[in-house]
Structure 1
Amino acid sequence: MTKHILVACGNGIATSTVVATKIKEYLKENGIDADTTQTRLTEVSSKVANYDLLVTTGQFSGDTHGTPYVLGLSLLTGIGAEKTLADIKAALVNQEV
């Protein structure tokens, strides 16, 4: 079953593309089929309800409509990236239980 991940950054273009690519590659290596959609942080609340996971490159304090949320800034900086990827995987796998 394909998981759907919403990846958000300031403008919904550059940094979310980097983060989305890293997430998709990691999940593929771990046998998880996932699609990513990129958006602006300001658009998250209106889009997130239809996704299995939200990953942002900046702090998000809006309504996630119950969608699990992982801060993905480390995927840009490299500091703590492995833990973030493990958190993303865990959030998606836990939904299947």
Structure 2
Amino acid sequence: MKKRLIVACGSGVATSQTIASKIASMFEDDGISFSVDAVDYKSIQSELPSTGIYVYVAQPDEDVLEKAEELGIAVFPGIPFLTGMGVENVYSQICELVK
């Protein structure tokens, strides 16, 4: 697996940065060394080839999901990291991939 997790939102600044920081902090707390980056959705197609895990804010379109599947990228929802609802389940699935 490529050693990179990306979080994408419309601008790559607000929501994606918040979620990326939360995931990076959780990784640090658990002693996991894995790159976490916030990106804007407009550049998602060029970001995917260097990515192992993609966390989305808004539901990605079919082209993005197809490309992610083609490249073997695991895709997860990011909203649980904002709301706290279901975050343990999503985070544990991500951890299984990065360990």
How many Å apart are 1:32 and its aligned residue?
Answer: 0.9
Q: Residue type matched to 1:69 in 2?
A: V
Alignment of 1:52-71 (within 5 A): 52-61=52-61, 62=64, 63-64=67-68, 65-71=71-77
Work out the percentage of aligned pairs sharing the same amino acid.
27
- Structure-2-length-normalised TM-score: 0.81
Structure 1 runs (4+) greater than 2 angstroms displaced: none
For the 8 Å contact 1:27–1:34, the answer to whether it is kept is yes
Instruction: Give aligned pairs, total.
Output: 92
- Structure-1-length-normalised TM-score: 0.82
How many Å apart are 1:24 and its aligned residue?
Answer: 0.7
Structure 2 SS opposite 1:8: strand
CA distance in structure 2 between the aligned counterparts of 1:23 and 1:55, rounded to whole angstroms: 10
Higher helix share: 2
For the 8 Å contact 2:52–2:72, the answer to whether it is kept is no
Unaligned runs of 5+ in 1: none
CA distance in structure 1 between the aligned counterparts of 2:23 and 2:3, rounded to whole angstroms: 12
Unaligned runs of 5+ in 2: none
Q: Which residue of 2 aligns with 1:48?
A: 48
RMSD: 1.7
The counterpart of 1:74, out of the listed 77, 80, 83, is 80
